């Protein structure tokens, strides 16, 4: 589980990985740090868990009973199963129907969620939460256990 001492590391992870998330989806001018967005976007509203590899925090996931709200992995640790394991961990603790939102250009995340059984329910256009100057498109995905 997340501990306050993990905050600095979570900020580093988010800020490095967020660039990858935005690339191909939204103008990179939309980038905001975790420190700028965590409170307004509800990082601490549900459960927040970190992944360690082997003892260093390398990723985190936040979720409510019916939605995975945050998932970030340190780019140095991509493709090691950390994101997959964090999502599986969240799925085990969520209700029978779980939602997730993914930017349309975030192909690795889209593939991960589809591999784990999430289906695209809707494609939606709008603006990034907390940074409404930037238009974005995303998929609303859902998993029924």
92 pLDDT above the threshold of 90: yes
Task: Give mean pLDDT, residues 79-92.
Answer: 97
- Greatest extent of the chain over all pairs of C-alpha atoms, in Å: 40
Task: Give mean pLDDT, residues 88-97.
Answer: 97
What is the pLDDT at residue 129?
A: 81
What is the pLDDT at residue 52?
A: 97
Per-residue pLDDT tens for 9-57? 999 999 999 999 999 899 999 999 999 999 999 999 999 999 999 889 9
Task: Give mean pLDDT, residues 54-71.
Answer: 96
Which residues partner with 52 through β-bridges?
Answer: 57
pTM of the full structure: 0.95
Question: Do the beta carbons of residue 86 and residue 9 sit within 8 Å?
Answer: no
Range of the domain at 129: 4-144
- For residue 140, give the CATH number of its domain: 3.40.630.30
94 phi and psi, to 5 degrees?
A: -95, 170
Q: How many domains does the chain have?
A: 1
Question: Do the beta carbons of residue 49 and residue 60 sit within 8 Å?
Answer: yes
First CA to last CA across the chain, in angstroms?
Answer: 23
Strands 97-103 and 119-128: unpaired
């Amino acid at each position: 589980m997340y501990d306050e001492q993990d905050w600095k590391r979570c900020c580093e992870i988010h800020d490095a990985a967020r660039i990858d998330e935005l690339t191909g989806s939204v103008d990179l001018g939309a980038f905001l740090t975790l420190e700028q967005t965590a409170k307004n976007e509800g990082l601490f509203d549900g459960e927040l868990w970190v992944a360690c590899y082997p003892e260093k925090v390398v990723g985190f996931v936040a979720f409510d009973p019916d939605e995975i709200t945050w998932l970030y992995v340190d780019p140095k640790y991509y493709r090691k199963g950390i994101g997959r394991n964090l999502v599986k961990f969240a799925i085990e603790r969520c209700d029978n129907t779980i939602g997730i939102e993914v930017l349309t250009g975030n192909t690795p995340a889209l593939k991960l969620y589809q591999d784990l059984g999430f289906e695209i329910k809707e494609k939606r256009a709008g603006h990034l939460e907390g940074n409404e100057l930037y238009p974005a498109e995303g998929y609303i995905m859902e998993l029924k256990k």
